[in-house]
Chains A and B, each alone.
Chain A
Amino acid sequence: MSFGSVALSVIVGRARAARRLNTLTCTGEGGYPQELVPYADNVITQVATGLFGVREETIQYAPVVELKYAQGAKPGLGGHLLGDKVTSAVAALRETVVGNALFSPFPFHSVYSVEDNKKHIDWVKEMNPRALVSVKVSTPTDVDMVAVGSYHAGAHIIHFDGSYGGTGAAPDIAKKNIAMPIEYAIPKVHRFLTEEGVRDQVCLIASGGIRNAMDVAKAIALGADGVVIGTAELVALECIRCGNCESGRGCARGIATTDAELGCMVDEAWAEQRIVNMYTAWRKQWCELLRQYGLRSIRELVGRSDLLVHLDYLEEEERARYKSSPVEHRVL
């Protein structure tokens, strides 16, 4: 979610919320607006295939630098920002031409292989030795190999983006149809890295269609260390999921827009508070869940897939013993 795809106030609101919650948000691929600099300690700089707005300076700001190779919603398709949304402010930050669609190519032209990936990671470390390097990939069938390859290339964080994410701007034909759903990818990678003996040395982050507190808990129980939330935060800002994200003035709530007029519908402070509210509410649910399981920290939940059941795989009678409400999520 870059400057260009969503309004500046949304980006800054998210960064402010990240600071309050002691977590991180990401620039996306649209450059690093000056307004984010005060929150730099909580902002991940994304280096994506178009390299829009990426400068040495913006890499040096960041505690985490994310190399985005693909997006789960549209793997192999690169990124696009359609002409409508390339307003003069967007074009200025990205140093491009107003009104012309912007393409992020697929793949990274300087990275065609795992040893190029190592070189790329080394490059980021050379410019900013204190940064953690995150590698964002989608979930192909050999996602486990990609993960272990990235680990050996020196990545600190491996971020998998499954196929169920993406805003309305991702092509329908790609969403849910190319990459693997994240719930298949997480255990595959978790298990493989555990077998390889390197699971403890790398941080696994999952994203792509994670909608609520229980989705987060499930992702973690399947083997992720943490998650990245995109659309749910926008829903907290009253996104109505109409799917008109790609057009310049299509967003009914002024979230996914850079239009001068629509872009002021969201206020930074309000956005910050809404997002903080959402995560605080989620936290309550997680605490409840952990209490039920007798766990002291959400870290203890990582990889506890034994605590999950797949209702679809159960006989009807057995299924009836489970209630789906998160509050009373226990065997009766």
Chain B
Amino acid sequence: MSYENRDMVDKILASRGRLPRREVPDSKLSEEGGCGVTGFIASVPVRGRHIFTPSVQMHNRGNGKGGGIAAVGLSPQDLGVTQDVLDSHYLLQIALLDPKSRPEVESFGISPFLDVHKAERIPTLDDFREIEGLEIRPPDVWRYFVRVKQDALDRFAGENGLESMAPRKVEDEYIYRNSFRINQEFYASLGEQRAFVLSHGRNILILKIVGYAEQVGQYYLLDDFRAHGWIAHQRYPTKGRVWHPGGAHPFIGLNEALVHNGDFANYHAVREYLAQHNIFPQFLTDTEVSVLLFDLWSRTFGYPVEYIIEAMAPTTEHDFDLLPPDKQRIYRRIQSGHINSSPDGPWFFIIARNNPEENYFQLMGITDTSMLRPQVFALQEGEVQIGLICSEKQAIDATLQSLAAEDSRFCPIADKYWNARGGSATDGGSFIFTVADAGRGDGSKQLVCTNKFGEVVRTPDNQRHFKSSLDLSTQASTEGVSSAVEDGLAAADLSGLKDYCRRSLPHWSFASLMRLCQELEVRASSSDDLKSKAIEVLTYLNDRLISTGGKKRSSVLLAVRDSLSRIFSASPGLDESAGGIYRHIDWSTRDTLRPPRDGEGLLVVNARGFPPEGEECDARLIVRAYELGWKRFICYDYTGQRFCGCGLGPNSQGVRIDAYGSSGDYLASGMDGLEIIVHGNAQDQVGQIMKQGKLVVYGDVGQTFMYGAKGGETFVLGNAAGRPLVNAVGRPRVVINGTCLDYLAESFMAGDPLNGGGFVIMNGIEFDKDGNVLEQAMPYPGSNLFSLASGGAIYMRDPYHRVVEAQLNGGVFADLGPADWELILPYLEENERLFGISIERDLLTVKGERKGYQDVYRKVQAITLAVLAGAKPRSEH
């Protein structure tokens, strides 16, 4: 900041200290841990109802004691004002905990100083009890469109020495302090709590209740309320009795709303830092201090977003070394000034924000440096664009499904899903979706996704989405498909048909693809043999990252998955008299479960509708079915149900579960013999304490993959998020074709790999849109690899030796000999069979040249550390 700015900053902060305030306790009111957070922003306004489904699906991340939503980029029609008023006026929303307090609130904080363009009680349901499960009446909320009266503003600027500041900034500050005054008078934690300000920014609003987030929308009638960006939060306060929603998220800065998942270890230090800047929290939660920090750094100090993110989640260790020197210099300054106020502990923020000066809306997600909370980002581009940030991928899918059901410009599957790497030199642990005018002169907007460093995240160009209205007329061109399917299915071996599909898919129109699906579906209904073949072909198209030509991969997946679902659901129920091996069960027919009869052998489970956990969940159904004698399962239409494959007990060899859809956390955790195939991305805590069996994931896996695993074979097509294989022992054997965020195989103790122990093969590759294998920029970007490991090994494809000693933290590079290659080769061969990643062409070929295995792969093994072996020196007495 320049010196004039500094002078102004000092004046602002000093004058804030003169605001009267009450003493409040300096500790948090209630502990709250993680929560469910979800948000999205689109290039077109979308209705509030689309935040409902993801909120409902994340009930198990909250406890119904606090839910809130924020909306940014609102629709003037829905608010009954003109666009001009919406842009220029502050949208002040006040929650009246005591409905009778309104005249007092208005005469204290509104009428003397503010010009009110419009004031209204926002409409609600007549009776909150119409909403099932809502126990506490949400507050009446009054909404005011206001500007500060000129004389009040002049007096304010004069009293505080802010005359030279831009008038709008002075007005912003005025509004901010006015809300502080109102809260001090009518709220102030532990005082008499009669009313508080929910939000006061421009073109942004917040509502919150004691209940679940979606009930906010139901009660305040937001079903059809339109906005570009929405965020929702399910709170999990540990305190049992909560009578008002003051502590619920989101919290407001000025023009930004923040929701938060996690909790700080250094709440007190952050508070102290804020107190030094004359900023005093009033609601006593981590989330409130987070948004106060953001507002201080953004509005008062004027930091660019990149620096704010750096101050929140500092770049450390190896990542810091990778930064260019000028960035290191600036970041070092930022860190030395802000490290004591960086939120410490697990946290993940989603921020919705309006920048009225530069006329854009933003949605950003920031993860802490250690990546301790779950987070998934997603992007969909096309005629309309949407960016999504959630705690769980299934919430993203739920949002998109809800949108697509209403508006065919959205597709139920995103074009791209990914995780951020906290405090990193690669993406900075943050992604920002910015919606701004598209420059087409018609007021339309476009969305751009960037990371912390401003690098743009794109989906492949020149591909289009499928729209049901188009394409289907061109039947003639699809005739060839029909005969190819006929011939392909007649052959004993399906590789011919798969090959045909792989070669044809890039050139096919959507009509041809639909034709293929239809042909397969029709034939699937005629016999079990053709059905299993049809499933195999469609599954191949679903699993493999093959070229889709000019078609969006998400649309191809949609067609294929819909087709699969139709084939699955066409299987006869357990109470129907029909022959064949397939039997179908779903939530409504769950009571028909019985042992398999003659010839029956495959139970198809529709997971939709099952609760994600508890005695009634689908995972328990699978256990009961297994106890009754079922061995083969296809589970589809997952919407985040957890624990798939858990509870079968030891020696479950011969059982196989195929999981389709958005499978949930703790999949395969505890598995001891069976085989699970995940046809898509897997979630967090997958394969915990896994002992034996085989797990294949045709996608990415989430946080703490195979924590404490003892064995088993695992093949992952994509990346793993943070902390895979921590504390793994025994003989787990794992192939990860992508890479990991950080902390791979910390405290790995899996014996001697050449002698029956365990290892991880990490290929560090990815696929381009044409299905070609590419090398990732870094085979392993994290600062910690194999920390404190005492056994096992990592085999890493790193032909350019990009991974350096500094990243190893207890491990050492070792010679990779013929015995090692002999050990890992069978796993790479299985990897080739499963994913089509060729050892010769893809893995051992570097820049077009075939290399020897020892030139491509490197081995990291444990060294005997003095701290690990032997007794510790006697501690002091």
Which label, helix, strand, loop or mixed, suits the secondary structure of the B interface? loop
State in angstroms the CA–CA spacing of A149 and B685 once bound together: 21
Interface residues of A in 67-96 (CB under 8 A from B): 82-84, 94-96
The smallest C-beta distance from A233 to any residue of chain B, in angstroms, reads 24
A200 in contact (CB, < 8 A): no
The answer to whether A101 touches B867 (Cβ under 8 A) is: yes
The answer to whether B617 touches A126 (Cβ under 8 A) is: yes
The answer to whether B749 touches A97 (Cβ under 8 A) is: yes
A152 in contact (CB, < 8 A): yes
The smallest C-beta distance from B385 to any residue of chain A, in angstroms, reads 31
B638-654 near A? 1/0 per residue, CB < 8 Å: 00001100111110000
A83-124 near B? 1/0 per residue, CB < 8 Å: 110000000001111011111110001101111111100110
CB-defined contacts of B708 to chain A, threshold 8 Å = 50-52, 54
The smallest C-beta distance from B868 to any residue of chain A, in angstroms, reads 4
CB-defined contacts of B643 to chain A, threshold 8 Å = 122-123, 126-127
The answer to whether A123 touches B868 (Cβ under 8 A) is: no
Which residue of the partner chain B has the closest CB to A243?
B877
The answer to whether B240 touches A56 (Cβ under 8 A) is: no
* Other-chain residue from A118, A119, A129 in contact with B620 (beta carbon distance below 8 A): A129
Given A100-B869, A126-B647, answer yes or no on A51-B790 (Cβ-Cβ < 8 Å).
no
CB-defined contacts of B615 to chain A, threshold 8 Å = 125, 129
Given A100-B791, A119-B60, A123-B669, answer yes or no on A83-B869 (Cβ-Cβ < 8 Å).
yes
B606 in contact (CB, < 8 A): no
The answer to whether A100 touches B613 (Cβ under 8 A) is: no
CB-defined contacts of A55 to chain B, threshold 8 Å = 650, 670, 672, 689, 691, 710
Given A97-B790, A109-B723, A122-B642, answer yes or no on A148-B240 (Cβ-Cβ < 8 Å).
yes
A315 in contact (CB, < 8 A): no
Q: Among the listed stretches B29-37, B88-96, B308-316, B763-771, which one makes contact with chain A, having 4 or more residues with CB under 8 Å of it?
A: B29-37
B381 in contact (CB, < 8 A): no
Interface residues of A in 121-149 (CB under 8 A from B): 122-123, 125-129, 142, 145-146, 148-149
* Other-chain residue from A100, A104, A126, A246 in contact with B790 (beta carbon distance below 8 A): A100
Interface residues of B in 685-711 (CB under 8 A from A): 685, 688-689, 691, 703-704, 707-708, 710-711
Which residue of the partner chain A has the closest CB to B34?
A113
* Other-chain residue from A101, A123, A197 in contact with B240 (beta carbon distance below 8 A): A197
The answer to whether A84 touches B791 (Cβ under 8 A) is: no
The smallest C-beta distance from A134 to any residue of chain B, in angstroms, reads 18
A326 in contact (CB, < 8 A): no
Which residue of the partner chain A has the closest CB to B671?
A56
Interface residues of B in 247-276 (CB under 8 A from A): 261-263
The answer to whether B704 touches A109 (Cβ under 8 A) is: yes
B845-877 near A? 1/0 per residue, CB < 8 Å: 000000000000000001010011111100111
Which residue of the partner chain B has the closest CB to A197?
B240
State in angstroms the CA–CA spacing of A128 and B648 once bound together: 10
A38 in contact (CB, < 8 A): no
Given A55-B670, A57-B649, answer yes or no on A82-B872 (Cβ-Cβ < 8 Å).
yes
State in angstroms the CA–CA spacing of A125 and B670 once bound together: 13
The answer to whether B868 touches A116 (Cβ under 8 A) is: no
The answer to whether B710 touches A246 (Cβ under 8 A) is: no
State in angstroms the CA–CA spacing of A146 and B749 once bound together: 32
State in angstroms the CA–CA spacing of A82 and B875 once bound together: 13
* Other-chain residue from A171, A172, A173, A247 in contact with B871 (beta carbon distance below 8 A): A247
CB-defined contacts of B749 to chain A, threshold 8 Å = 94-97, 100, 102
CB-defined contacts of B613 to chain A, threshold 8 Å = 119, 122, 125-126
State in angstroms the CA–CA spacing of A54 and B730 once bound together: 12
The smallest C-beta distance from B330 to any residue of chain A, in angstroms, reads 30
State in angstroms the CA–CA spacing of A331 and B155 once bound together: 72
State in angstroms the CA–CA spacing of A112 and B35 once bound together: 11
The smallest C-beta distance from B747 to any residue of chain A, in angstroms, reads 5
Given A59-B670, A110-B688, A173-B875, answer yes or no on A115-B729 (Cβ-Cβ < 8 Å).
no
State in angstroms the CA–CA spacing of A116 and B261 once bound together: 11
B364-380 near A? 1/0 per residue, CB < 8 Å: 00000000110000000
Given A115-B60, A119-B60, A148-B240, answer yes or no on A56-B36 (Cβ-Cβ < 8 Å).
no
A196 in contact (CB, < 8 A): yes
The answer to whether A60 touches B649 (Cβ under 8 A) is: yes
A274-301 near B? 1/0 per residue, CB < 8 Å: 0000000000000000000000000000
Interface residues of B in 723-747 (CB under 8 A from A): 723, 726-727, 729-731, 746-747
Interface residues of A in 34-71 (CB under 8 A from B): 49-52, 54-57, 59-60
The answer to whether B684 touches A198 (Cβ under 8 A) is: no
State in angstroms the CA–CA spacing of A173 and B872 once bound together: 14
A248 in contact (CB, < 8 A): yes
The answer to whether A112 touches B372 (Cβ under 8 A) is: yes
CB-defined contacts of B867 to chain A, threshold 8 Å = 101
The smallest C-beta distance from B373 to any residue of chain A, in angstroms, reads 7
Which residue of the partner chain B has the closest CB to A140?
B31
The answer to whether B870 touches A115 (Cβ under 8 A) is: no
CB-defined contacts of A149 to chain B, threshold 8 Å = 31, 33, 236, 238
State in angstroms the CA–CA spacing of A112 and B32 once bound together: 11
Q: Could you say which of B30, B614, B670, B684 has the most chain A C-beta atoms within 10 Å of its C-beta? A: B670
B751 in contact (CB, < 8 A): yes
A160-204 near B? 1/0 per residue, CB < 8 Å: 000000000001110000000000000000000000111000000
CB-defined contacts of A145 to chain B, threshold 8 Å = 30-31, 238-239
B497-518 near A? 1/0 per residue, CB < 8 Å: 0000000000000000000000
State in angstroms the CA–CA spacing of A97 and B747 once bound together: 11
Given A97-B751, A100-B864, A115-B61, answer yes or no on A171-B875 (Cβ-Cβ < 8 Å).
yes
The answer to whether A127 touches B727 (Cβ under 8 A) is: no
CB-defined contacts of B240 to chain A, threshold 8 Å = 148, 152, 196-198
The answer to whether A109 touches B707 (Cβ under 8 A) is: yes
Given A55-B670, A82-B872, answer yes or no on A110-B707 (Cβ-Cβ < 8 Å).
yes
CB-defined contacts of B352 to chain A, threshold 8 Å = none
Interface residues of B in 583-638 (CB under 8 A from A): 613-615, 617, 619-620, 623
The smallest C-beta distance from B746 to any residue of chain A, in angstroms, reads 7
CB-defined contacts of A128 to chain B, threshold 8 Å = 647
State in angstroms the CA–CA spacing of A52 and B870 once bound together: 20
Given contacts A94-B749, A95-B729, 20 further A-B contacts (CB under 8 A): A50-B708, A56-B647, A56-B691, A57-B672, A95-B711, A97-B749, A99-B869, A112-B373, A113-B34, A114-B31, A114-B32, A117-B33, A123-B642, A125-B613, A126-B613, A126-B643, A126-B646, A145-B238, A146-B238, A152-B240
Query: Can you pick out 22 interface pairs between chain A and chain B where the beta carbons lie within 8 Å of each other?
Result: A51-B727, A52-B708, A52-B727, A84-B871, A95-B749, A99-B870, A100-B791, A112-B346, A112-B372, A113-B35, A114-B32, A114-B238, A119-B613, A119-B685, A122-B60, A123-B666, A123-B670, A123-B688, A126-B613, A126-B623, A129-B620, A149-B236
State the 9 A-B residue pairs at the shortest beta-carbon distance, nearest first.
A51-B708, A113-B33, A113-B34, A114-B33, A149-B238, A56-B670, A95-B730, A100-B790, A145-B31
Q: Which residues of B contact A (CB under 8 A)?
A: 30-36, 60-63, 236, 238-241, 261-263, 346, 372-373, 613-615, 617, 619-620, 623, 642-643, 646-650, 665-666, 669-672, 684-685, 688-689, 691, 703-704, 707-708, 710-711, 723, 726-727, 729-731, 746-747, 749-751, 788, 790-791, 862, 864, 867-872, 875-877
